[in-house]
Structure 1
Amino acid sequence: MADKKDQFYTRPPKLGKWEGFRQFLWNSETGQFMGRTGSSWGKILLFYFIFYAVLIGFFTALVAVFYQTLDPRTPKWQLDSSLIGSNPGLGFRPMPPESNVDSTLIWYKSSDKGNVQYWQRELNAFLTSYKKENNPHYNNVEQCNTFQRPSEGKVCDVNMNQQWSPCLQEMSYGFENDKSGPCIFLKLNKIYGWVPEYYNTSTLPQSDEAMPAYLKKVIVDAEKQQKHHMVWVTCEGENPADKENIGSIRFIPARGFPSQYFPFKNEYGYLSPLVAVYFEEPRRGVLINIECKAWAKNVHHDRVDRRGSVHFELMVD
């Protein structure tokens, strides 16, 4: 028998690229597939199967526990504890085209039917959900008397009947009227659980700068009739020239949002209350800057951040 000292390592034969790849895929001498034997592959696959099964199970358990702490219809953080806070803002419709996303200009020529069709389509789309045939939860909507809350779990309808004239689809929302201006719809942004603090004669601001004198008179008269539980709305020209050019305004169906729509509780079928602002005689060919404000004791106005208000421009050719 040869001495172990006489045994030397034999260098494996040099293989070409293709032969080396073939041997990597399957080595018949060692029984290895891609560098591992069958038992080695079995062990590593079993390890990763158990590892990922435990990982998926752990993740699923955490998600299940997490969802147990959430109500799908009630936000965990509300009012001042939430990101949006407790000071609602106003929104307006129709909005300018998305191609000009930063614009707030409503500009059209009433005699050009093609020119006004965009604004009409935008309003038609916005008001679609206010038609009962388009509301999948309309069975949860009921007709409410003004200032009267709906039944438990129900919501109040926004009934766009003839009292909304001329701010109706069949009347082109005023956009095709050669003698008057358009109807612009205002909505109060929804905040879960927010309840307005309504003004009355004892809580009205003393300064006319804090609240317009004509609105104070409206609130005083409304309180005498027990109709003051409203989030009131005003719209004015921002500058002296705008105030001259804006002309008379009519609020339809009322000068604000009545109390039966508050608080918002994310009920099925809920419809945000609307106010249509009908510009009866804006000066034509002039750009008019308009600011609309919502009024309640717990609505605070900030022109920079547009808190409690909304700005847009109107130009009718």
Structure 2
Amino acid sequence: MHQHAPATESTRNRLLIAAGITFAILVAQLIGSILSGSLALAADTGHVAIDSIGLFVAAFTATLLTRPATDSMTYGYARLEAIAGGLQAGMIIIICTVIGYHGILRLITPAPVDGTQMAAWALAGLIGNLASMLVMMGRHRDNLNIRAAFLEVSVDAISSVGVIAGGIITRLTGITRVDAVISLLIAGAMLPRGYKLLKEAGSILLDRVPSDLNADHIREHILEVEHVTGVHDLHVWPLNSHTVLLSAHIVIAKECYRDGHALEVLHQVEECMKSHFPRSIEHCTLQIEPEGHAAHETLKH
């Protein structure tokens, strides 16, 4: 058994601190959206709610990822990263839909908005978002889940700037439709992030070949190794955002078993997988077999 998911106590603690800050922002902006009547601030609050949930889930996941693999869970909890990221993506898409619906209604039928309170509460949210980003800095590339949380907090900081600008414009001009426009822009900024995250999580859960690798190229490289005459049952899939797994049946001439080339082929293919591709494939399961052995296999891939 191997440990496949790097996660540290430092990462978890940073996430918990960022989650606490984000939850405080959530409470503050929720109060502010009620007092000001701002849909844009409510939209930003919804975005912050996703951030807060994502950060707590990321912290919980980071804790589980430190647990060792067992005989019953031979990969440990590595797949939790993708599951948590997918759940967060789903929430993002749902809240974008709700924001978009109410934003269009507000454009058709404007509602009163207090621009001063809208800008003031959004400013408090911006300060909190910047603090969360600072806490996560240095750990935001650890895995898909943490990266997603960092990106969402970053987008939320940008959203807060938009809400501040909208509040100022509303205060100066009295045009309340600005609030609806800002809310739709926030939803528009969130939606691509949600789609991208959902796609990444789905690719991992569906065992899709990582985008920076190509199964045909991998097969070609293996076939270039001396004494290799064929490759079949080649599978390449991600365990999480860091680790790529590969399994393959490597066909060699029968005489290679007598002259010692079988072991040499195994070493060369493993070295090739580690060094010839954009992402190193260090976890390989290779079956070296003689020509004609495939006829005895019952399971075809």
TM-score bracket relative to the smaller structure: under 0.3
Max radius of gyration: which structure? 1
Question: What is the TM-score normalised by the length of structure 2?
Answer: 0.25
Structure showing greater relative contact order (alpha-carbon pairs closer than 8 Å, 6 or more residues apart): 1
Question: What is the TM-score normalised by the length of structure 1?
Answer: 0.25
Q: Determine which structure has the larger helix proportion and give its number.
A: 2
